[in-house]
Structure 1
Amino acid sequence: MQPQATAQITPDQTCLIVEDSEFDQAMMTRVVGRSHGKMHVEVASTLESARAALDAGQVSLILLDNNLPDGIGANFALELASDPKHAATPVIMVSDWPTPFMWEKAASAGVLYVVNKAEFGVRYVEQALRGKQRKPLRPS
């Protein structure tokens, strides 16, 4: 059996975490930090601040909660998918309670994974950056 290739994560890559809970922001930052290599992390607690972060620089990966103070993450994923500047940016939705409706919107937006926060781990970050999956994947 061949060893599995690891994602090529470099310090010039940025992960944007869109999450309003400080506890969950810290958890996601730790997960990204455990990935192979170093990746810069930006945190946005609202969709408005996420849009500003995307306008300010290149983002390699977006970790997106669904319930945010100023909107729904799945709707934001659809917005990103329709924007040529951000359509190719991998998105992972990390939510407490993924619903069938959220799954449907995520699939329409090309979200790579919809993951329960308790299940979220390094493998999702690395697989997203390798670009192996291009559809929502339920945790195994």
Structure 2
Amino acid sequence: MPQQHSATYSSKATQTCLVVEDNLFDQERIKRIMDKSFQGVFVAIVSTIEQARLHMARYQTSMILLDNNLPDGTGANFAIELAKVPEFAEIPIIMVSDWPSPFMFDKAESAGVIHVVNKSDFGARYIHAALNHKPSKRLLN
């Protein structure tokens, strides 16, 4: 079952950040960054791609922080899957991975992922970029 964490709410409309990450340490690190830096952003944390699909079928999602190595597939392939669905194609995605590879970068770029970041370099500036991202057409062939 997905964990639901909420950041401090402000008077602005609430946005939802879906974190797809199976490592508990990384989940908590991302949650701390969100709680410290963002008001009005609700954080939902799931551990698998299937849980992410279920969340997205039920709830509005404003942005996605996506690990690449997940128990039921790769984040890069999931990003491509989302890019093919019109209702999800414009959601900004940031891939946060331990070992970003050139192959993953290529897939992420074709899916319209706005950033691919090593977990050790991840910080609030990437979330700001996602929250302020203006959708553009994906490059899928």
Query: Shorter-chain TM-score category?
Result: 0.7 to 0.9
Q: Kindly tell me: are residues 42 and 9 of structure 1, through their superposed partners in 2, closer, same or farther at Cα, counting changes over 3 Å? A: farther
Find the partner of 2:63 among 57, 61, 64: 61
Q: Kindly tell me: are residues 100 and 61 of structure 1, through their superposed partners in 2, closer, same or farther at Cα, counting changes over 3 Å? A: same
Please give the per-residue CA displacement for 1:14-69, whole angstroms capped at 9, x wherever unaligned.
Answer: 10000000110111111122234231110110000000000011001100000000
Find the partner of 2:51 among 49, 52, 67: 49
1:108 is matched by which residue type in structure 2? S
Are positions 1:81 and 2:71 aligned together? no
- Looking at structure 2, the residues matched to 54 and 102 of structure 1 have their Cα atoms a distance apart, in angstroms, of 23
| Cα displacement (A) at 1:9 | 9.5
Find the partner of 2:110 among 99, 108, 111: 108
Residue ranges of structure 2 left out of the alignment (5+ in a row): 1-9, 137-141
Matched residue of 1:42: which SS?
strand
- Looking at structure 1, the residues matched to 117 and 13 of structure 2 have their Cα atoms a distance apart, in angstroms, of 25
Residue ranges of structure 1 left out of the alignment (5+ in a row): 1-7, 135-140
Q: Kindly tell me: are residues 52 and 101 of structure 1, through their superposed partners in 2, closer, same or farther at Cα, counting changes over 3 Å? A: same
Backbone CA RMSD of aligned residues: 2.0
Q: TM-score, normalised by structure 2?
A: 0.85
| Cα displacement (A) at 1:133 | 8.6
**Number of positions where the alignment pairs a residue of Structure 1 with one of Structure 2:** 128
Q: Is the 8 A contact 2:62 2:91 kept in 1?
A: yes
2:70 is matched by which residue type in structure 1? L
Matched residue of 1:104: which SS?
helix
Q: Kindly tell me: are residues 41 and 10 of structure 1, through their superposed partners in 2, closer, same or farther at Cα, counting changes over 3 Å? A: farther
Matched residue of 1:110: which SS?
coil
Q: TM-score, normalised by structure 1?
A: 0.85
- Looking at structure 2, the residues matched to 9 and 119 of structure 1 have their Cα atoms a distance apart, in angstroms, of 30
Greater shift after overlay, 75-84 or 30-39? Answer: 30-39
